[in-house]
Structure 1
Amino acid sequence: IAENKFPQAALLAEDINHTLATFDPKLYFPKLFETFVRLQVINFEALTAYADLQEDPQWQAMQEWLKVDLDSFIKQ
């Protein structure tokens, strides 16, 4: 941009934005997500029992709580 190379800058910006939009951190940091993914698989049935509740107002309130106060959400 500083050199007025706007076509190149626009193409580069689009490429970066696409990479970020499709970024899967599990591919780049597998060890960080290893336990999480394994426990999801092991506890699949118990977790999917809650799938139907995702549109429920209580579930949505819990999502908001998770966003604003992770510590108390986990401790509860």
Structure 2
Amino acid sequence: MVPPHQPEHSSPFSVLTPRERDVMQYVARGKPNKIIAAELGVSQRTIEAHRARIFQKMQVRNAVELAHRVLSNGRLS
């Protein structure tokens, strides 16, 4: 049985905040932190922190693994 606070068919991406999902899209496309930061209007350090949390939450070790997960789930927009 699934706990009431967690939908039965939840997306693996549902653990990410909206901003983390934004950053995830850039990372999955292979964009460097400097470009992501400039396009989102934040510092590189902020992007580094987002990437670290995304990797941890998605249980991946690098951007290649993240991109594979994103593509295999049809989440690259």
TM-score higher than 0.5 here?
Answer: no
More helix by share: 1
Task: Tell me: higher relative CO, structure 1 or 2? Use CA pairs within 8 A at least 6 residues apart.
Answer: 2
User: Shorter-chain TM-score: which interval?
Assistant: under 0.3
TM-score by length of 2: 0.24
Task: Give TM-score scaled by structure 1 length.
Answer: 0.25
